[in-house]
Amino acid sequence: MAKFNWLIAALVVLITTLWLAAEPALFSSTDFYQWRSALVQYSGMLTVGLMSLCLLLALRLPFIEQLTQGLDRSYRIHKYLGIAAVTLGSVHWLLAIIPKQLVKAGLLDPPIKGLGPRNPDNFYALIKPLRPLAEQVGEYSFYAFVVLAAIALLGMIRYKSFRYSHKLMAVAYLAIAFHSSILIKHSYWPYSITLVSLMLIWLGVVASFYSLFGRIGKSKQHKAEVAKFSYLEKSKLLDLQIKVPHWPGHHSGQFAFLRFAGEEPHPFSIASAPATQPLRFLIKELGDFTGQLKARLVKGQVLSIEGPYGNFNFSEKSPQLWLAAGAGIAAFTAVLQQRANMLNPPPACLYFCCEGADANFVKQLQVQAQAAQVDFKLIDNTLQDCLSFSQLQQEVPDLFNREIYFCGPVQFGNSIQQHLQRNDYDLRHFHRELFSFR
């Protein structure tokens, strides 16, 4: 993830540097409208640049996943880039709108407008009539983008509708791309900032069409068939096994998107070891889709699987602590099976936190843990207190010398990470699945 963060920082520095080169007289000017014009351009170019990167991150491209160290991290960066783009876009909008309103109210003198290029046959003369349309399109598409971003961030709609709202964001971006391309200031044309801005816009346009035509993840999609399923009543977990004839293989800790007829794809951790069939998934009841799934399944039912994704890789050398909560146990069942075939695996301790545990499922985990030489501890929150950091310190004396792997609810993960940070633990050795794509 750090590599991509450096890429974002480098892009911001590049745009800033090239923009300043195109405004050589800016800092010696006391003209309000010159500053306003320059800042409108700058904020607009930064906004569209971040939007383009945001769209690129949503394409699930392998080289992007390598840069961000996992698709889950790609989507985390995608989320915060979207927030940054909307914030900068709001600044851009305020810089454009407020002076106009002040002029209308008689509180600010109107700008003295130049005549523009004198040659009526040049390219600028051809696109100049489009500028009023571009301003209007940009304004309304920005409003649409803000509304769609608010819907996405606040979780106001169901997952299926959320996916459609994200498709509409791609449409809104195309309108913003038109706005941005037409309204690049003419005085910038001889400078590199124009070329870089147009390249970023082109990148975003390609990404938008890639999304709108349903190409995201297409190369990683495979047909599958339901082989077996059962429901764990106490744990509220669906134990699903599917056959995937052309599955390319996966690593322990990775996940895949499952898509049933009439539904959008949903991500779930793979609970089976590499090179084993059928693939197994442990799906927690958390919403409408997962709550109804057990009643809709039929043996032999056809579905689509897309993946594998993720970079939740387990060390084969260092002592480890595994923390699983709820359906987060899925990633660890995969590595338990894998470790059973390893010679002299590193010490590992697994805590499984849940609210109600099915006896047969727990027994299965205990058998797998014993075969994998893993110390297994069950924390059933219906029978005992929730796992605390002080309990971990007492029961795992070499806690701060271990690689720590966490998969479970976001708040629980954040709490563990904060406690580790307060105790000067090197967070490069704390690994977690950022399993939130909304």
- Verify that 305 and 325 share a domain, yes or no: no
- Verify that 48 and 172 share a domain, yes or no: yes
Pick the more confident residue, 121 or 358: 358
**Count of helices and strands (H, E) across the chain:** 13, 11
Confidence bin at 114 (pLDDT 50/70/90) = low
- Verify that 189 and 243 share a domain, yes or no: no
| Helix, strand, coil share of the chain (percent; to 5) | 55, 15, 30
- Verify that 117 and 47 share a domain, yes or no: yes
- Verify that 132 and 275 share a domain, yes or no: no
Rounded to two decimals, what is the model's pTM? 0.86
Average pLDDT over residues 267-282: 91
Nearest C-alpha neighbor of 289 from the set 273, 304, 268: 268
Structure tokens at 306: 């897309």
Percent of the chain with pLDDT over 70: 95
Among 212, 237, 270, where does a domain finish?
212
Instruction: Note the pLDDT of residue 166.
Output: 76
Residue 264 inside a domain? The answer is: yes
Instruction: Note the pLDDT of residue 112.
Output: 78
In this model, does residue 36 exceed pLDDT 60?
Answer: yes
Residue 315 inside a domain? The answer is: no
Structure tokens at 90: 């709001």
Which structural domain, as residue segments, surrounds residue 123? 2-212
Among 212, 243, 270, where does a domain finish?
212
Average of per-residue pLDDT values in the chain:
89
Phi, psi of 244 (to 5 degrees): -130, 95
Confidence bin at 286 (pLDDT 50/70/90) = confident
Confidence bin at 343 (pLDDT 50/70/90) = confident
Average pLDDT over residues 338-352: 90
Average pLDDT over residues 343-351: 91
Average pLDDT over residues 278-299: 88
Average pLDDT over residues 126-135: 91
- Verify that 123 and 143 share a domain, yes or no: yes
In this model, does residue 118 exceed pLDDT 80?
Answer: no
Check whether the bond before 278 is cis (ω within 30° of 0).
yes
In this model, does residue 187 exceed pLDDT 60?
Answer: yes
In this model, does residue 21 exceed pLDDT 90?
Answer: yes
Residue 314 inside a domain? The answer is: no
- Verify that 188 and 296 share a domain, yes or no: no
Confidence bin at 73 (pLDDT 50/70/90) = confident
